[in-house]
Structure 1
Amino acid sequence: MSRRCDLTGKAVLVGHKVSHSNRKTKRRFLPNLCNVTFRSETLDRDVRLRVSANALKTVDHRGGLDAFLVKARAEELSPRALELKRAVEKAQAEQTQAAA
């Protein structure tokens, strides 16, 4: 399982740990990943994703998982989240056609 956020694409970064004597040794900066269950109102089901804490705040700010997926760029999303994005867009298009 990769250490990458399913929604934002945030991944491991590499840098240096710098000691008091200014000696530099390699280290890894790991993203703060959490296993989260989101509720998709459009698909009317629960979705489990591995997302960063930053992505949780962003999803909440944008108004839920469906709104986040519609606004997100396809390059950033994982393959699983990309499938969800397509399903949400398709369901929303069907709802608008049924309403018209």
Structure 2
Amino acid sequence: MSRICELTGKGRLTGCNVSHANNKTKRVFLPNLQNVTLLSDGLERSFKFRVSTHGLRSVEHNGGLDNWLLKASDDTLSPRALKVKRDLKKKQQAA
């Protein structure tokens, strides 16, 4: 399972450990991913996603999962999140 946030697309970064003697060795910075269940008001059901803690705060700040998905670009979303976004758009157009 890759270490990429399903909603924001945040992934791993590379950098260097720098010792006191200024020796540099490669290292990896991993995002803080959590398995969460987010509720969709429009679809009236819940979805499980693997989301970074920063992304989780952003979703809550923007008014929930539905608003976040409708505003987010398709490039950053995972295939599962894209499917939820498409279902949400269909439901809104039908109403």
Residue 94 of structure 1 and its aligned partner are, at CA, apart by 1.2
Please give the alpha-carbon distance, in whole angstroms, between the structure 1 residues aligned to 2:18 and 2:87.
Answer: 46
1:64 matched residue in structure 2:
64
1:21 matched residue in structure 2:
21
Please give the alpha-carbon distance, in whole angstroms, between the structure 1 residues aligned to 2:73 and 2:94.
Answer: 22
TM-score (norm 2): 0.98
SS at match of 1:58: helix
Report 1:54-93 matches (<5 A): 54-93=54-93
Amino acid at match of 2:20: H
Unaligned 5+ runs, structure 1? 96-100
Percent identity between the two aligned chains: 55
1:48 matched residue in structure 2:
48
User: RMSD across aligned C-alpha pairs, in angstroms?
Assistant: 0.6
SS at match of 1:34: strand
Residue 90 of structure 1 and its aligned partner are, at CA, apart by 1.0
Q: Point out the structure with the larger helix share.
A: 1
Q: How many residues of Structure 1 are paired with residues of Structure 2 in the alignment?
A: 95
Unaligned 5+ runs, structure 2? none
Amino acid at match of 1:94: A
TM-score (norm 1): 0.93
